[in-house]
Chains A and B, each alone.
Chain A
Amino acid sequence: MTMDSIATSLVSLPPSVLLAGGALLIPLLPRYFRAAWMILLSILGLAFLWSLPVVQASEFCVVSATYGNYSLMPYVSDPLGRLFASIFLLVLIIGSLYAWSLDDRGESIGTMLYGASAVGVVLAGDYLTLFVFWELMAIASTWLIWSRREVGSTAVGVRYLIYHLLGGGFLLMGILFQIHSTGSIQLQPFTEGISWGTMGQDLVSNPSGTLGPLFLLLGVAVNAAVVPLHAWLPDAYAKASWTGSVFMSALTTKSAIYVMIRLFPGLDILIVAGLVMAVFGTIYGLLSNNVRQILSYSIIAQLGYMMAAVGVGSEMALNGAAAHAFSHILYKSLLFMCAGAMAVYAGRATLVEWTDSQDDSMDRGASSHTQQWKEPDHPLPWGLFALYMIGALSISGVPLLSGFISKPMILESLGKAHHEAGLLILIAASIGTFLHTGLKIPYAMWIKPRLDSASGLVDVASQNHDVDDQASPETDAPLTHKLPLSQWLAMSLGAGLCLLFGLAPDLLYGWLPYPVKFSPFEAYPISESLMTLSGGFFAFVLLRKWLYRPGRVLDLDWIYQKGGEPLRKVVVDTSWAVFGAVDIVVQRMASSMTQWFRGEKGTGPTPAQRFNLAQPSIESTIAWIVGTMLVIGLALFL
């Protein structure tokens, strides 16, 4: 074997395999080498990815294999996949730097497997590869939620996993129907045969051909957090480990957007779904009181932009969706890194909190809970403010930052497709994003405490003189109020990239799947952005007093949880009763046979005691759900 052939083989190695293989070595590495190893693997993955030629169509298959009668294409190099894989690897580099001082082998392995599976999804050329990486992504990301090791995060992780396993079940059903209908496992866009308007007729005339795309759409919609299937996102991202949420904000939803672009360009219902997501995410972001929850709802709003663009389906719109996913990963990971840093200084992740204190209405004879601004434990530094604001202004679409090079592309594509109402709704949602991410959070974290301090209302220093020795309920770490240098570097790198792509959009435009005929630096998008944001700023100044209310925001998961409780009792309790009874009978028969053969009386615990049937474990519950989904899928397929 010559050196050239070795080099060719190495370059052809899928980045997902490289990352997953590298993850297996992490347990052997000392603490500070782990992050360096993760960064090195990601850089190598990027180098391999970019050393391959890219063709416009998806025919260029780097690695192929056969499975029965099907040709697998686990590694396909095309512009769209390469764009998404590149930004995933880039965020792995930045996030690994942020997590440099992390002393948790399990979380590091989970992160690498998560990154590997996300990269695997966007480089897959067939449904089976896509499904395998899709499920691995769900499991690895759940690991990052559980890495926080709190009672609350365990429950959130279970809910998250159930959501994603259900989504994976729908995806599998869609894949099985699709194979049944077409006999092919290659990823091809549904340019024909699926239209929301004719869905009813198609279901009757061609059930298998219609159910395939429908289940695929449903499965991908769960990961894309399409309202009302979104509740897992703010639930999980606010409870994941601080470093885990940085990766989660980048990978799961954006890989779903990639699949949407790949499979459903021009599907009209996605425009409506996108508009609903944009409005819903904006309103809930403004309602929320927790920094990471606000950022999570803001993800839903931004995904709405991308979804609407996929629904429009023109070349400019698909470019816009891909570019916005790229930009969004950059600034959202920066914002989540800043949220972690804020918690280190502030000692909490909320903006305002309820405390028991006497109201002004005490003379009416009743004490009540009053809103009190609990000041941050330590003033948040202005350097962090600058980095945060680069991310916040990017997401708001301020000129010369990364959001501005992608958002106007989507808006213009909607305008050109004559969706004027949709265009105005998205502009309003963009202003809402500026209100919660660009104004609500920084005002509560930086401006208001300093105004209070300057006015003598609160003496932060005397109020917090003894907090340094306490443990933060949010960070699970001593409140040292100092960020490691690696975290400053990671945030600076993220902010630098937001500026770089904002100033030189052609860097990104050159990687987009279609030729770009758009320039953001024209009078119209600049004046539109400046005027709308200015108007939004003054509205915030007028109404900010009433905007800050502490509390837990009720989302649609409340309905699921309330409405699902009786159903859960019926399904789960009945299932456990039936399977428990069968289990006991089998155990007794086995025990009797053993005693009969041995000729002795059993003295050990009963089968019911041994298996503790009254309290089924999480693992067995998940196993039942996966098993049931597979059985249903196979039954429908057959």
Chain B
Amino acid sequence: MSRSQSIGQFEAGQSGMKPPWKHWFVVVPLAFALLGGATGVIIEAVYLADYASHWWNEIPAFYLLFGLLSAVLTLTVVILLQRVLLRKHHGGSQA
């Protein structure tokens, strides 16, 4: 059974196991990320409403958007660069 087949069967519920998002080691980080982001937005809204050190301080939740977009951009660049900069290593691990 190939990997994609097994994932498909798994997601279709044939295995009768918990879906990935129901495991605590997935739920807890997700909850922390959501909580952290929300806390940051609330702090900004409550304590930094009049704060304007840089031009981007005028944009609400700028850092949340910046974090998401810059990470997406960075990851996209990295994924594209993999084709150019990664050389395949067969067998064995590289230290």
Contacts and interface: CB of A to CB of B under 8 A. Distances in A.
Interface string A549-576: 1111110000000000000000000000
A348 B93 contact: yes
Nearest to B75: A543
Contact of A286 (B2, B39, B75, B88): B75
Contacts of A506: none
Contact of A546 (B30, B41, B79, B91): B79
Contacts of A533: 33, 36, 67
A350 B93 contact: yes
Contacts of A528: 40, 63
B93 A283 contact: no
B36 to A, nearest CB: 4
A178 interface: no
Nearest to A455: B10
A456 B19 CA distance: 11
A193 B78 CA distance: 41
Given A283-B74, A431-B70, A474-B93, A534 B86 contact: no
A619 interface: no
Interface string A335-350: 0000000000000111
B12 interface: no
Contact of B10 (A348, A457, A530): A457
Contacts of A182: none
A457 B3 contact: yes
Contact of B89 (A531, A543, A551): A551
Interface string B12-34: 00010110100101100110011
A523 B67 contact: no
Interface of A is mostly: helix
Contact of B40 (A292, A456, A530): A530
Interface in B37-57: 37, 39-41, 43-44, 46-48, 51, 53-55
A551 B86 contact: yes
Contacts of B78: 283, 286-287, 547
* Interface residue tally on B, bucketed by range: 35 or more
B26 A523 contact: no
Contacts of A550: 86, 88-89
Interface string B71-95: 1111111110110111111111111
A431 B74 CA distance: 9
B4 A360 contact: yes
Contacts of B72: 539, 542-543
A239 interface: yes
Contact of A282 (B43, B74, B91): B74
B10 A554 contact: no
Nearest to A436: B78
Contacts, number: 206
A477 interface: no
A536 B70 CA distance: 8
Contacts of B75: 286, 435, 539-540, 543, 546-547
B34 A454 contact: no
Nearest to A535: B67
* Interface residue tally on A, bucketed by range: 35 or more
Contacts of A150: 95
A589 interface: no
A523 B44 contact: yes
Given A415-B54, A523-B44, A550-B88, A432 B93 contact: no
Interface in A366-388: 369, 372
B88 A287 contact: no
Interface in A572-591: none
A289 B94 contact: yes
B85 A554 contact: yes
Interface of B is mostly: helix
Nearest to B88: A551
Contacts of A283: 74, 77-78, 81
Residue from A350, A420, A538 with most neighbouring chain B CB atoms (10 Å) = A538
Interface in A269-296: 282-283, 286-287, 289-290, 292
A47 interface: no
A534 B88 CA distance: 33
A471 interface: no
Contact of B37 (A239, A432, A535, A552): A535
B80 to A, nearest CB: 10
B26 A287 contact: no
Contacts of A542: 72
Given A535-B65, A535-B67, A535-B68, A292 B86 contact: no
A427 B33 contact: no
A350 B86 CA distance: 14
Contacts of A546: 75, 79
A283 B91 CA distance: 25
Given A289-B94, A527-B63, A447 B85 contact: no
A537 interface: yes
Contacts of A415: 53-54
Nearest to A551: B86
A206 interface: no
A428 interface: yes
A527 B74 contact: no
A298 to B, nearest CB: 14
Contacts of B36: 530-531, 533-534
A616 B77 CA distance: 44
A287 B94 contact: no
Contact of A523 (B33, B47, B71, B95): B47
A145 to B, nearest CB: 12
B33 A428 contact: no
Nearest to A398: B36
A537 B33 contact: yes
B89 A432 contact: no
B63 A349 contact: no
12 contacts: A239-B95, A283-B74, A360-B4, A369-B90, A428-B70, A457-B6, A528-B40, A530-B39, A534-B37, A535-B66, A539-B68, A546-B75
Given A354-B90, A532-B66, 19 more contacts: A349-B95, A353-B89, A355-B91, A360-B4, A427-B70, A431-B67, A432-B70, A455-B6, A523-B46, A527-B43, A532-B64, A535-B64, A538-B68, A540-B71, A540-B75, A547-B75, A551-B82, A552-B86, A552-B89
**Chain A to chain B: the 10 pairs with minimum beta-carbon distance, closest first:** A535-B67, A534-B37, A530-B40, A539-B71, A535-B68, A532-B67, A531-B40, A523-B47, A531-B63, A551-B86
Interface of B: 2-4, 6-7, 10, 15, 17-18, 20, 23, 25-26, 29-30, 33-34, 36-37, 39-41, 43-44, 46-48, 51, 53-55, 61, 63-79, 81-82, 84-95
